Amino acid sequence: MVAAVTSSTAATATSSIGATSAQDQSDRFLKLLVAQLNNQDPMNPMDNAQMTSQIAQINTVSGIQQLNDSIKSMAAQYTSMQVMQGASMIGHEVVADGSTMSINAGVGTAAVSLDADASSVQVQVLTPGGQLIDQIDLGAMTAGSHNFQWDASRYSGAGTPTFSVVAKQGSASVTATPLVRDTIASVGTDASNAMSLTLKSGSSIKYDSIKSIL
């Protein structure tokens, strides 16, 4: 009997919000409500409070979906605006989180950030597959960011080398963060629709990973 359609039916109808638009949801709800009123038991009609509650539910669901659509539209516009502004960084050198080494004219360039003073800092230069190519002894360094270079004139491997850093203060380890130092070649978006920067070396970094623009 159609009179058995109650608030649970309305809840079921509104649960599929992701599949249709807010207007479609509202139209379907109203059709169900009219059918319910036409077929209700005359001896046990729906009370006004129940009807008001159901109408309030569908209005709330519709309002939430419209708000979500508005936020998505604003986010897309913001990303487009961010990419346009980011285009001004093309050609600039940046320091960012990452462990790839930029090579230009036979010289590899990168940076490292130390959380504390270190009496010994060593850099291991690796192939993209993780095999050791060379080791650089940077000696003692103070806390903070430091640039370094590597003679890449004899490197003939395919792909961009990576590097890792081991820093110590005496026998105690010091946290060392590898940093990319490279030139921005282009600006775009990644799979999550966030702005990303493609570097001259071919690697990509996220905008929020940039430490400084030189």
**pLDDT at position 179 over 80:** yes
Tell me how far apart the alpha carbons of residues 201 and 185 are, in angstroms, rounded to a whole number: 9
Q: pLDDT tens, 113-127?
A: 999 999 999 999 999
Q: What is the pLDDT of residue 208?
A: 82
pTM of the predicted model as reported, rounded to 2 decimal places? 0.60
Cα(192)–Cα(101) distance, integer angstroms = 26
Confidence of residue 61 (pLDDT cuts 50, 70, 90): low
Asked if 160 and 128 count as a contact pair (C-beta separation under 8 A), the reply is yes
37 to each of 41, 56, 205, how far by Cα in Å? 9, 17, 59
What is the per-residue pLDDT across 147-167, written as a single tens digit (0 to 9) for each? 999 999 988 888 889 999 999
pLDDT, one tens digit per residue, over 29-39 is 677 767 776 77
- Mapping DSSP to helix (H, G, I), strand (E, B) and coil, where does residue 186 land? strand
pLDDT at 142 (0 to 100)? 97
20-26 long-range contacts, CB within 8 A, separation 24+: 21/65, 22/61, 22/62, 22/63, 22/65, 22/66, 22/69, 23/62, 25/58, 25/61, 25/62, 25/65, 26/58, 26/62
The angle that helices 22-38 and 48-86 make with each other, rounded to 10 degrees, is: 170
Q: What's the pLDDT tens digit per position in 64-78?
A: 777 777 777 776 676
Fold topology of 91-213: Immunoglobulin-like (2.60.40)
Range(s) for CATH 2.60.40.4070 in the chain? 91-213
d(CA 196, CA 185): 11
- How far is 176 from 160, CA to CA, in rounded Å? 21
**What mean pLDDT comes out for the span 164-187?**
95
Terminus-to-terminus CA distance in the chain, angstroms?
74
